[in-house]
Each structure stands twice: as C-alpha cells, then as structure tokens.
Amino acid sequence: MSFKHLVFAAFSTVILATTFSDSPLGKNAFAQTQYQSQSTTIDISSSELKDSYWLNIYSSDNARIQGEVKLDGKVIQSLNSASTTINIAPYLNQGQNEVIISGNYSPTNASVTVELNSKTDKVTQQTGGNGLINQILIIEVQ
C-alpha cells in the first residue's frame, strides 16, 4: 500500500443559519444547519486501472446510509444500507474524475467512512455527528 499518489486533502464545515422573526419558538428564534464536506485528490496511472479500485462506504453502529454515488455527475450506485462496496475502475476515464458520495445516515450520532482501496493506494475519509454525507474524491488518471 502506498500513499505516494495522495495530492491534496481538504475538510470544510459550513454552518447555515436562519433567523425566524415570527416563530412559535418565540420572537427571533434561530435555526442552524451544519454542512460538512471533505475532498481528496489522488493521481493514478491509467495502467493501474487494470486492477480493481474498491470504493467502500460503511457506517459505525450499523447506521443506515441513504444517498448516492455519482461519478462526473452520473449516478453509479444508490446507497440504502449500512455498507456498500463498488469497483469504480471500470467507470474511470483518462483525465479528471469526480466521485461524489452524498446523502444522510441515521442515527446521526454514528459516523460514515469512505475508503478507496487498490493494490497500491488507500485513501480514507470519515464524517460523523450530523447525519449528512458529502465526500468528494477527485481522481486524476494519467
């Protein structure tokens, strides 16, 4: 296993806030939604696509994950269980490939792990605590 291809990893949290002026909760009630996104970019050689690139998505505490996996805007897998495994190598093309794993999980106090595994690479992302998934893998095939 090698981490030589890992180029960039980023994590961001955006807090969206709304103030309600005439709410049953009182004047100027406040609602807050937290949105997290993780993005990782890796470079791989086109010759490496002869082998499998496994995308593993799984939750802690057997939490149910609902959502989808998109590659360059096209849904390649629906998510509706505690774990899913997909070989994404057949879907990858020369150049930049954007894999987006989005959706939600319940209970919200669980966590979700996204792993990309091959013979030579392993990339892991994890999110937890808010019930939302927005993981992004940018895979540059050269």
Tokens 């930049």: give the residue. Answer: 96
pLDDT at 93 over 70: yes
- Give CA 1 to chain center in angstroms: 21
Domains: count for the chain? 1
Which of 58, 42, 64 lies closest to 115, judged by CA? 58
In a domain, 102, yes or no: yes
pTM score over 0.85: no
Residue type at position 5? H
In a domain, 27, yes or no: no
Give me the mean pLDDT over the 95-108 stretch.
95
At 129, is the pLDDT very low, low, confident or very high (cuts 50, 70, 90)?
confident
Domain extent for 94: 38-141
- Residue 120 has which token pair? 């030579």
In a domain, 14, yes or no: no
In a domain, 111, yes or no: yes
In a domain, 54, yes or no: yes
Task: Give residue 39's pLDDT.
Answer: 85
Which tens digits make up the pLDDT trace of 103-126? 999 999 999 999 999 988 899 999
In a domain, 13, yes or no: no
